[in-house]
Amino acid sequence: MSKYFRRKLFIYVLTFFLAVTIDWLIPRFMPGNPIQVLIARANLKAESAKVVYSYYMRAFGLDVPIWNQYANFWNALFHGDFGTSLWLFPQPVIKIILRAVPYDILLLLPAILLSWFAGNKFGAFAARSKWLDNTVSPLGYVLTATPYMWLGMLLAWTFGIVLRVLPFSGAYSYALMPTLSWIFIWSLLEHWILPFVSLFMVMFGGWAIGMRNMIIYELEADYSHYLETLGAPRRLIRRYAFRNALLPQITGLALQLGVIVAGALVTEIVFSYPGIGYLILQAIQNHDYFLLQGCFLFVIIGVLLANLAIDVTYVLVDPRTRTGMQGER
């Protein structure tokens, strides 16, 4: 078990190291000079621009040798310094990101957890009989096949524009400042519904289908068969099958995180929900690679932590990992 964890941890550390390196590397070997972009946006007088240009090069530490820049990058990282944003100059990247994070948590955590539970229950339900399977699971297939943004667009269009019952842009009303007040919380909730639903539904479909397939395999497993020969009621057998089918679904959750991040990203774009996903898009469109790096790092860290959490849960629920055996499926 401790071996199991040591191994996992090692992989995570390695991953983090690589991720950070990639993260640092990519922008630097891509065409285009960020400072030029900054100047371009500053519409300065030509005569002054020259001075400012060299000034910025120094300010962003782009005038030192490349290896030096790499070292500085790590060093800064451990001081929680993600650099300065170009797009929102001179705001520090970390500050911008921290402003966005709460909205991601607000949106993603419930969406992921609820869809996972609901989806699994639903899948198990669908696998109950051939009839149910043929009538109910198709819904699952359609949902998981739906592009996040498209579902988002549909929802925004139907409820926001045609029916005009729900707001479909921003995290709260433009007429409000964030305060701890009922009206604000209500507004927050109102704006949260549509993005949440579109995320929830697509994921829900995925989990439902996954569970449906898993449980069918489990019902064919030897232990199910043995219980049958001992005349155990369907109910008991299903319960065991469900529980065992949940395990791969937990790992599935870990594997899905990357995709989920992507989904969140486009959903936030559709509903201009001010989370990290939205930031990433802006960073890309404004070639703010310091911000982009920051966001990416944040996502990485988030995903890694989530993975770790999931591993722990897995160990808690799957005896095989606890008895020194690898729980990987």
Partner 1 sequence: MWSRTRLVLCMLLAVSVILGLTGGLVLGQAFPRNETLYTGGKQWGPVSNWNPFMAGNQAMGTIGLCYETLFLYDPLTDQFIPWLAESGKWLSSTVYELKVRQGVKWSDGQPLTAADVKFTFDLGKTAALNITSLWDWLDNIVQVGDYYLEFHFKQALYQEWANNLYNIAIVPQHIWASRNATTVSTGANENPIGSGPYLFFAVDQVKMVWVRNDNWWAKTALGKSVAPKYIVDLVNTSNENSLGLVLQGQEDLNNNYLPGISTLLLGGYALHTYFPGAPYHLAANTAWLDINLQKKPMGDVNFRKALAYAINVADIVSRDYGNMVQAANATGLLPTWDKYVDQAVINSLGTSYDPVKAKQTLTAAGYKDVNGDGFVEAPDGSKIALKIIVPNGWSDWMAAIQIISSNAQAVGINVQPNYPDFNGYLDARLNGTFDLAIDNQQQISNTPWSYYHFIFYDKLADIPSTQGGNYGRYNNPTAFALVSQLDKVPTSDLAGMKAVISQIQTIQLTDLPIIPLWYNGMWAQMSTAYWTGWPSSADGDAHYLPVTWNGYWNMTSILMLCNLTAK
Partner 2 sequence: MSLQVDDLTLYYQTLHGDVKALEGATFSVADGEIMGLAGESGCGKSTLANGLILLKPPMRFVHGSVRLDDEELPVWDTDRMDAFRFRRISIVPQYAMNALNPTRKIGKMTVELLRSRKVDVRSTLPELERRLDLVGLSHEVLGMYPIELSGGMKQRMVMVLSTLLDPSLLMADEITSALDVSTQKAVARMLVEFRDRRFVKSLMVITHDLSILNQIADSILIMYAGRLAEKGSTDRIINAPRHPYTRLLIASLPKVGVRHRQTRLTGIPGSPPFLLHPPVGCRFRERCPAALPECGEEPPFVEIEKGHYVACWRESGTDAEA
Partner 3 sequence: MTQQKKRREFAYFALRNNKLRIGVAIVFLFMVLALVGPWLTHYKPREFVAPGAQHPSSQFWMGTTSLGEDVFTQFVYGLRATFIVGLLGGGLGTLIGILIGFVAGYRGGMVDELLNMFTNIVLVIPSLVVLLIIAAYLEVRGFLFESLFIGFFAWPWAARAIRAQTFSLRSREFVDLARLSGMKPLRTIVTEIAPNMMSYLLLVFILQFGGAILTAATLDFIGLGPTNAVSLGLMMNNAVIWGALILGMWWWFIPPGLAITAIVGALYVTNVGLDEVFNPKLREM
Which chain residues interact with partner 2 by CB under 8 A? 221-223, 225-233, 235-236, 240, 243-244, 247, 317-320, 323, 325
Q: DSSP character for 158?
A: I
Structure tokens at 267: 């959903």
Q: What angle, rounded to 10 degrees, do the helices at 222-229 and 234-270 form?
A: 140
Contact of residue 44 among partner 1, partner 3, partner 2, none (CB under 5-8 Å per partner type): partner 1
Interacting positions 87-146 with partner 3 (CB under 8 A): 127, 129-130, 133-134, 138, 141-142, 144-146
Task: Out of 72, 146, 173, 213, name the contact with partner 1 by CB under 8 A.
Answer: 173
Interacting positions 281-310 with partner 3 (CB under 8 A): 281, 284-285, 287, 289, 292, 295-296, 299-300, 303-304, 307
Segment near partner 1 (CB under 8 A); pick from 4-12, 92-100, 229-237, 298-306: 92-100
Binding mask 249-268 for partner 3 (x = CB under 8 A): -----xx-xxx-xx--xx--
Contact of residue 69 among partner 2, partner 3, partner 1, none (CB under 5-8 Å per partner type): none
Contact of residue 220 among partner 3, partner 2, partner 1, none (CB under 5-8 Å per partner type): partner 3
Kindly state the smallest distance separating residue 21's Cβ from partner 3, in Å.
11
The answer to whether 275 and 107 are in contact (CB under 8 A) is yes
Reported as type and span, the H/E element at residue 277 is helix 276-285
Q: How far is CA 306 from CA 23, 112, 257, in A?
A: 20, 11, 8
29 CB burial (10 A radius; 0-12, 13-18, 19+): exposed
**Residue closer to partner 1 (CB basis): 9 or 40:** 40
Interacting positions 146-165 with partner 1 (CB under 8 A): 161
The answer to whether 84 and 93 are in contact (CB under 8 A) is yes
Residue 247's contacts (CB-CB under 8 Å, 6 or more residues apart) are 314, 317, 318, 327, 329
The answer to whether 196 and 263 are in contact (CB under 8 A) is no
158 CB burial (10 A radius; 0-12, 13-18, 19+): middle
Q: DSSP character for 92?
A: B
**Residue closer to partner 1 (CB basis): 31 or 80:** 31
Please tell me the number of Cα atoms within 13 Å of 253 on its side-chain side: 27
Interacting positions 248-307 with partner 1 (CB under 8 A): 269, 272, 274, 278, 282, 285-287
Bridge partners (DSSP) of residue 92 are 84
Contact of residue 222 among partner 1, partner 3, partner 2, none (CB under 5-8 Å per partner type): partner 2
The structure tokens 């509903």 sit at 271
Note whether 184 binds partner 1 by CB under 8 A. Answer: yes
Site residues, partner 3 (CB under 8 A): 11-12, 14-15, 18-19, 22-23, 26-27, 30-32, 127, 129-130, 133-134, 138, 141-142, 144-151, 153-154, 156-157, 161-162, 209, 213, 216-217, 220, 254-255, 257-259, 261-262, 265-266, 269-270, 280-281, 284-285, 287, 289, 292, 295-296, 299-300, 303-304, 307, 329
